[in-house]
A = this chain, B = another copy of it.
């Protein structure tokens, strides 16, 4: 069975598994106070060109969004996000469960527009009843977005300036950050993100790790007692070094970037093949997720051979599927899928 239904169906890069094996006799202090974590942080700081970055490792994306957003917001504040943002739609309401409204903006290919954000902020602060409303306390973006799209450097800088002028943090969900950074179509680098965002996370679960995300605070703004805050959310791993070890490995010799580049190549192979075979791409995505329009019949046929992500039904006769490649996808697998078409 071919597998394109998501980018977390495989284990981890072999370097991580090998290092785990090598590490089996080591004694490590708990809760991330270990040398693996320290080394990983040092390497991430360097990659971000942000020597003052404070970094905390967590186990998954929803958890990372939930803990960091809850920690950065005041109780009466909400987080602004695209209607299609992961926090708005697919985190089982974890943000609201922790007390905060997601203030939704229209999405434009999965992204929010500076103008819409500005309008929301102006409207709020000019409303005579603003004290009876949820305060917009931070801005959430995902990069790549849930549609695989990317912000440009200019867009990021625009959002960043706007947030700064309102004194609210800009937070970037980088569950698939590697695939965004290695896209051919981008002028956004890790240092650009570190400069524009007040906090963001570098996704491991979908990019080469067994699990784990590196949450980065870039402006000396890690909330005080963040370890306790994480613990209180059930998000503090006893053997925190497991996270450090994985990120240390991923940020050694640019491995994170190399495996992400491979995924982009696979995505291009897939995209090219689809176009050649006359298929319609439902969204133009420069990253590892591709959205294809299929006739229902074709969809049913393909499902027998390949796992795909159901996306939506634009009309009765068609189905849009998401095809996700990853660091683990092989060229043969893409070819085998194309041969089915």
Report A's interface with B, CB cutoff 8 A.
1, 3, 6, 8-12, 14, 17, 20-21, 23-30, 59-63, 66-67, 70-71, 74-76, 78, 89-94, 96-102, 104, 128-129, 131-135, 205-206, 210-211, 225, 227-229, 231-239, 242, 307, 310
Contact = CB atoms under 8 A, between A and B. Distances in A.
Given A98-B99, A234-B235, 20 more contacts: A8-B239, A10-B25, A10-B28, A11-B25, A59-B237, A60-B234, A62-B236, A75-B97, A76-B232, A92-B132, A94-B234, A96-B96, A96-B99, A96-B100, A96-B101, A101-B101, A104-B104, A205-B239, A233-B234, A234-B234
- Interface residue SS majority, chain A: loop
- The interface centre, meaning the residue of A20, A75, A104, A206 with most chain B CB atoms within 10 A of its CB, is A75
A92 B228 contact: yes
A101 to B, nearest CB: 4
Nearest to A20: B17
A131 B30 CA distance: 13
A92 B101 CA distance: 9
B131 A227 contact: yes
Nearest to A130: B228
Contact of A23 (B11, B28, B225): B11
